[in-house]
Structure 1
Amino acid sequence: MKIRTIVFLTLFTCGSLALLVGSWLQVIPFTLTEDLGFITGALSVWLTVVENIWNFPIGIANDIFFFVLFWQAGLFADMGLQVLYVLLGLQGWYLWLHGGKNKTSLRVSNISPLELLVLVLITGIATTSLTFYLQTLQDSAPFWDALTTVLSLVAQYMLNKKFVENWYGWILADLIYIPLYIYERLYLTGVVYVTFLVMCLFGIRAWLQSRRAYA
């Protein structure tokens, strides 16, 4: 194991324990659900950056914590999104292990222009439809909630197929999520997505190097 990996995991573990203890003792104004969402989310993204298959089970745990959190905040689209994430996580888990040629592990690649165009069209149509639906549910931020929901699903689809472009989808979604969660007073969740945004930049670099290695 590389030294920087050991350092990261050590600091991450210490920080996570401090966060949980602080919330338990009510020293910091965050719930344990937010803490666990932060911890599993950050770990899942880091595992994705380094192409570790464990990002999927950790990510599924993260989906469960965020389902509870968004239900409490009244962000219904994001709540429902977590259910789809669990299903997509199971699909991605399988594809990464057996989605390559001759049932081998999947390798990093680029999405085709045609498939990208189809995803852009789907994003526009799905966002419009979901916005109208969320308005009937009195969602607290129907358009932004719909847009981030669709962007996240599209990004997860690309991640499952190991397309480098998945990181650009996550970056766009994170740039919207951050102010949305701050507005909803989910401050720690906002910090989570700032962390995700930074890690996406590392993800692009790592996956581009991986793609060149496979070429």
Structure 2
Amino acid sequence: MNPIEWLFDAQLHIGGQVILWREVIGNLFGLASALGGMRRKVWAWPVGIIGNALLFTVFLGAVFHTPNPINLYGQAGRQLMFIAVSVYGWCQWRSSRNSSVQVAVAPHWAGGRNRLFLVLGMVAGTLILTPIFRGLGSFEPVWADAWIFTGSLLATYGMAKGWTEFWLIWIAVDIVGVPLLVSAGYYASALLYLFYGGFTLVGFLVWMRVQRRRTTLVAQELTGG
């Protein structure tokens, strides 16, 4: 069996539950990407893309005939969205790193107008996508799948823009994502979401600290201090 066949077919048996190694490995790549994002490393984007590609096949269980034949179209679709937005973020961070600033991204607040855009986008995206995912036959409650997809899109876009608030969007995604994934039988992903809940809070605090330090340095330069 070649590595690709092994990766596609390998299973982990815990008690009476069957977990695909693809789900475990894909989520580990996602975790590594999140760690890189917290440290503002450009490699976080390509690492995340690999994880997204693996998880896309996991969340279409009925399509790929996995042991868990449940389709979560929002979860699967967001992997494709992640790949597209990650290419944008990758280019954004590489461009910033190659500039005179010499950092991948400078954390900053989104501002009132962009915050309003994020809130309205979260609500509107969930309302629009819920009937679409339900029509495709996504797992109930479908609104949760739509919420996760929309939040993931906005959070990834916010990360690419360097908005510190993007961490808070991830927390909102995790709160809904854990119970949905448990009820759908995707236990490895649910466990990672649970871990992400604490991790995103730490990431938010780290970016806030970097942001305050940067603001202080800029103020000192302006005052000649």
The reply to whether TM is greater than 0.5 is yes
Question: Which amino acid is the alignment partner of residue 32 of structure 1?
Answer: W
Number of the residue aligned with 1:186: 186
CA distance in 1 between partners of 2:162 and 2:82 (Å): 16
Number of the residue aligned with 1:70: 59
CA distance in 2 between partners of 1:52 and 1:106 (Å): 9
Shift of 1:76: 0.9
Shift of 1:137: 1.2
Q: 1:88 aligns with which of 60, 85, 97?
A: 85
CA distance in 1 between partners of 2:11 and 2:23 (Å): 15
Residue aligned with 1:111, SS:
coil
Number of the residue aligned with 1:211: 211
CA distance in 1 between partners of 2:11 and 2:86 (Å): 33
Shift of 1:119: 2.1
Number of the residue aligned with 1:124: 123
| Normalised TM-score (structure 2) | 0.80
Query: Which of the two has greater helix per residue?
Result: 1
| Normalised TM-score (structure 1) | 0.83
Q: Which runs of 5+ in 2 are unaligned?
A: 1-5, 62-69, 216-225
Please give the per-residue CA displacement for 1:84-121, whole angstroms capped at 9, x wherever unaligned.
11010011111112248967543111101011112211
CA distance in 2 between partners of 1:35 and 1:101 (Å): 34
Shift of 1:60: 0.4
Distance 1:34 1:49, change over 3 A: same
Distance 1:156 1:100, change over 3 A: same
User: In the comparison of the two structures, how many residue pairs are matched?
Assistant: 194
Question: Which amino acid is the alignment partner of residue 174 of structure 2?
Answer: D
Shift of 1:38: 2.3
Q: Does 1:58 align with 2:47?
A: yes
Distance 1:51 1:102, change over 3 A: closer
What is the RMSD computed on CA atoms of the aligned residues?
2.2
**Contact 2:107 / 2:164 at 8 angstroms: preserved in 1?**
yes
